[in-house]
Amino acid sequence: MQLLKFLRLCLTFYKSFALVSIAITGLCVFLVRKHGLSSFSTVFAFKAICSLAIFYFITNYKKKEFYYYRNHGLSPNLLWIIVASTDLFLFFLGISIGIAWK
């Protein structure tokens, strides 16, 4: 599969819930900046629970969209792995920047 097609498909999948995920990451960064690094474990648990809720919602309410990605050669598991790792990277990047700017 071509790299640009692969990236476009992953981005299309991520766009369906990116706003909520980035807003939750922003809230987590705000909380870590306000309460310090000692609140990181609580904030990380909050992010994990919200990510699981997003996973549940997307998996149950957008089942038919996964056929589109399967027809293009992407399994749902691969989509979730790539999107979750990207989201986790953005979370840690945001926390790092938030701590550095404090």
Sign of CA dihedral 5, 81, 33, 100: negative
Residue recorded with tokens 């399967």: 70
Which pTM does this prediction carry?
A: 0.88
Per-residue confidence at 102, pLDDT binned at 50, 70, 90? Answer: low
DSSP 8-state class, residue 25 = H
DSSP 8-state class, residue 38 = G
Structure confidence by residue, pLDDT tens digits, 4-61: 999 999 999 999 899 999 999 999 999 999 998 899 999 999 999 999 999 999 999 8
Indicate the domain borders of the chain.
3-100
Structure confidence by residue, pLDDT tens digits, 61-81: 888 999 999 999 899 999 999
Sign of CA dihedral 73, 88, 86, 64: positive
